[in-house]
Chain A
Amino acid sequence: MAPLIELTAVSKSYGGVPALTDVSLTVEPGAVHAILGENGAGKSTLMKLLAGVIAPETGTIAIDGQVQRFATPRDAARCGIVCMFQELSLMPHLSVGDNMLIGDGGAALALIRRGSRRAARAVLDRVGGQHIAMATRIADLPLADRQLVEIAKAIGRKPRLLILDEATSALTAERVETVFAVIRALRDAGCAVLFISHRMYEIDAVADRISIFRNGRHIETFAAGTRSHDAMISLMIGQSLKELFPPRRDPPPVSTPPILSVRDLRWAPHLNGVDLDVRPGEIVGLGGLDGQGQQHLMHAIFGILRRTSGTVTLEGKTLTDLTPGRAKTRRIGLALVPEDRKTEGLILDMTIADNLRLAGLSRKPFGLANATDATDAAIAKLIERLGLTYGRLSDPVKTLSGGNQQKVVLAKWLALGPRCLLLMDPTRGIDVKTKAQIYRLLQDLAGEGLAIVLQSTDYEELIHLCHRINVFYKGRVVRELSGAEATPDALIAASLNVSAEAA
């Protein structure tokens, strides 16, 4: 079959740093083409070139055999190329329906017809967004629902080439399956799909062809299923990766008193009586479907929610009137790595150095930002330990890749020397190598006696890292899985609140 898109010898660099070097790639209609690579391998640059956000310095992009130069995303959309970027194409103050209809190429001044709204509703239903009301503002939706809206928005444009860049990173496995069914249907109808994901099981589930990128170069393209995971990972990082998940350390003895205890925590309607114990040296997982209260529990413990009921105790002392500012003090020693590093974890326009020092500012003598103290030394050590890759510490933090940004968020909290670390989806949208580094770090920290609560949408991560997994359903912990019980089947069954046999 004739290729839909053909890139020939494309190169692009940013300020002298090459992002893509001499890349040639063909994309055929009627296939799902996965692009694999570490962060910084050039995947995002490739997507931006195809979507018309940036233009190549050398080389050509041909569509249906004709060379095209895109000045704006609008030009690319006119050629049938629609890109779903990572949470970048939604307007927070507009409703779900308006977001899906705007920019779809309809006449600018004509009234939007009821038929278009109905069509948008149908697309949203198809990708599994039946529960999302069209009149809701995007700003009021949780991250996972926003991703569904973004996917529906892209599909609603009837693309010839659909680009999904980490499109499903905040979705749980069940939701992802619904989205994949739609992607397969699109593929069977002749649409080409470029799919970027860091989750191997998603690649296995949906990809027909796989291309590996490394350091801005196209390494190899092959049919899905012809290489093992280990072989693919080796190609991606240019060396073999011993093991993604380091061996789990032994849990602390049951007799160890918990450092953090939560009893009957309620915050209607999201939390309906949650109990949780975490011991020093233990990694406790929070799993379940999206929006079953896991995220709210984290926020409640860290003092972000107002008017919660129930108790949170730390080493036997009840914590009342907690705010994030109090929670991070030496006396209490909690730290929260939030779900959305781009808006909640970092101030993107500020420098790496300033972001690293933000959490520790209140500990400076007399609040003087330039006075040095113990946290500055701790930060220097952590940069080393995390293997942070950066140009200069005075560069804005947004110039870093996603994985390195996450390392900055981790470092800024770990520098405070917390006793209990709350992590919300810490490896979302992060490449394999950085994931492995973070997993190793978490194991080491637990070995040093830190108590860790890990909320994740990636069930492999929960199973391989956690000593115990608390599965949430409708604001309650419905099951606790530990040791050999923690299997993917059991976890999914518990998430759906059915017994493993029935699933």
Chain B
Amino acid sequence: MIWLRRHARLAISVVLLAVLFALYIAIHPRGMSVYVMTIWSNQGALLALAALAQFFVVLVRGIDLSVGPVVALTNVAASYLVSGSGLQVAFGALAVLVVGAACGFANGAAVVYGRVPPIVATLASGSIYSGLALLLRPTPGGTIDDAVSDAVTYDLFKVPTSLILIVLVVLLLAIPLRRTRFGLSLYAIGSARDAAVMTGIRVPAVTLASYAIGGFFAALAGLYISMVTLTGDPNIGPAYTLNSIAAVVIGGVALSGGVGSPLGAVLGAFTLKTISALMFFSGLPPLAQPFFEGAILAIAIVLGALGMLRVRSRLERFA
């Protein structure tokens, strides 16, 4: 009971996603099948990884407008690096992740040492990363190793591989975030930066690390996109930046920092993707779809804010 009360926010997200998913399956012409599940899960996983990238930066009271550009840059990098012999593919994938982490680290350095506000720093660096992606590959193209792509984008025992991977990532993140001093200090910095300094947390180092982890997850998203599309495309970025922010908000991550969980960010991403997919099969005229997509999104955000109804004094509401 206490558990449910503490996690009411997450429970709402789960129920919301379940309802939307049921609706999606109900109207999908092919109904529930491994194929439909796999497509849905692959689409969700792409945004979920980008949302995790955003989550780590938002957690320390930042915001990352370069998530999309880093996704595009690493996607392009993958189209050069992830092919050839098995060893080449492995090192190529590793190199792509290093590129992403380095982009995140550079963002963090600008914010921590350059004292540039995150929104400005990542807007500028995002332009640089997009520009790099365009220089590297002006038009979509390149090759991606088929075998690896097949392994991570189909299904394993009729369960979509991407879903298994995302569940693994969430499980692997949950424990370190809540049970280690490093994980707690991410929450601490977002919650009250000055108090974190007074407590003896290495605020600059931890902030830098969280931006780098954010870049790492953006690279995972870029890498995974190349697995799904089998090309490198420098123009895929913009949608990921704003959708990653929307996903973390739907998933209950506070933009003011210090509140939220990786599971929430992932649920938010899948919710957002399910809404778009629902529109596609809804039979609504295409021009009316944005209106209904927006309306469902608004309802999702209101449901997420239901916790406010329990507020007992006005001071609490505005605190």
Contact = CB atoms under 8 A, between A and B. Distances in A.
Interface of A: 51, 53, 72-74, 77, 83, 85, 88-94, 98, 101-112, 135, 139, 299, 303-307, 323-324, 343-344
Nearest to A296: B313
Contact of A323 (B185, B312, B314): B314
Contacts, number: 105
Given A85-B198, A324-B314, A103 B258 contact: no
B195 A90 contact: yes
Question: Range of interface residues on chain B?
Answer: 20 to 34
B191 interface: yes
B314 A304 contact: yes
A344 B194 CA distance: 19
A272 to B, nearest CB: 16
Given A91-B188, A93-B187, A109-B182, A304 B200 contact: no
A102 B191 contact: no
Contacts of B195: 88-91
Contacts of B180: 108-112
Contact of A102 (B190, B197, B199, B312): B199
A108 B311 CA distance: 36
B184 A101 contact: yes
A110 B194 CA distance: 24
A102 B314 contact: no
A305 B314 CA distance: 6
Nearest to B204: A72
19 contacts: A53-B197, A74-B202, A83-B198, A90-B195, A91-B192, A94-B184, A102-B181, A102-B185, A102-B199, A106-B181, A108-B180, A109-B181, A109-B182, A111-B175, A111-B179, A135-B6, A304-B315, A306-B312, A344-B315
Nearest to A107: B181
Contacts of A93: 187, 190-191, 258-259
A300 to B, nearest CB: 9
Contact of B181 (A85, A103, A135, A344): A103
Contacts of B315: 299, 304, 344
Contact of A112 (B6, B181, B192, B200): B181
A73 B187 contact: no
Nearest to A111: B179
A247 to B, nearest CB: 37
A109 B197 CA distance: 19
A73 B199 contact: yes
B199 A103 contact: yes
Contacts of A74: 200-202
- The list of the 8 closest CB pairs from A to B, nearest first, reads A103-B199, A91-B191, A93-B191, A93-B258, A74-B200, A103-B200, A89-B198, A108-B182
A307 B309 CA distance: 13
Contacts of A106: 181
A304 B313 contact: yes
A98 B192 contact: no
Contacts of A109: 176, 180-182
A304 B311 CA distance: 11
Nearest to A106: B181
A73 B198 contact: yes
Contacts of A98: 184, 187-188
Given A73-B200, A85-B198, A103-B181, 6 more contacts: A91-B187, A93-B258, A94-B184, A109-B176, A135-B2, A305-B312
A248 B150 CA distance: 87
B313 A299 contact: yes
Contacts of A110: 180-181
B174 to A, nearest CB: 12
A306 B314 contact: yes
Interface centre among B182, B201, B311, B313 (most CB of A within 10 A): B313
Nearest to B206: A108
Contacts of B190: 93
B191 A94 contact: yes
B196 interface: yes
Nearest to A91: B191
A192 B202 CA distance: 26
B128 to A, nearest CB: 31
Contacts of A73: 197-200
B168 interface: no
Given A101-B181, A102-B188, A139-B319, A88 B194 contact: yes
A85 B315 CA distance: 24
Contact of A105 (B184, B191, B200, B314): B200
Contacts of A90: 192, 195
B200 A306 contact: no
B185 A103 contact: yes
Contacts of A107: 181
Nearest to B315: A304
Contact of B200 (A72, A85, A101): A72
Interface string B199-222: 111100000000000000000000
A85 B185 CA distance: 19
A324 B313 CA distance: 12
Contacts of A53: 197-198
B188 A94 contact: yes
B241 to A, nearest CB: 26
B313 to A, nearest CB: 5
Contacts of B2: 135
Nearest to B190: A93
Contacts of B259: 93
B192 A102 contact: no
A91 B200 contact: no
A321 B200 CA distance: 46
B201 A102 contact: yes
Interface string B101-144: 00000000000000000000000000000000000000000000
A241 B246 CA distance: 61
Q: Which of A92, A107, A323 has the most CB of B within 10 A?
A: A92
B200 A77 contact: yes
Nearest to B178: A98
B197 A72 contact: yes
Nearest to A89: B198
A405 B202 CA distance: 31
A85 B197 CA distance: 12
A53 B195 CA distance: 11
B282 to A, nearest CB: 38
A237 to B, nearest CB: 30
B216 to A, nearest CB: 16
Nearest to B205: A108
Contacts of A303: 314
A305 B196 CA distance: 32
Contacts of B319: 139, 343
A343 B316 CA distance: 12
B37 to A, nearest CB: 35
Contacts of A103: 181, 185, 188, 196, 199-201
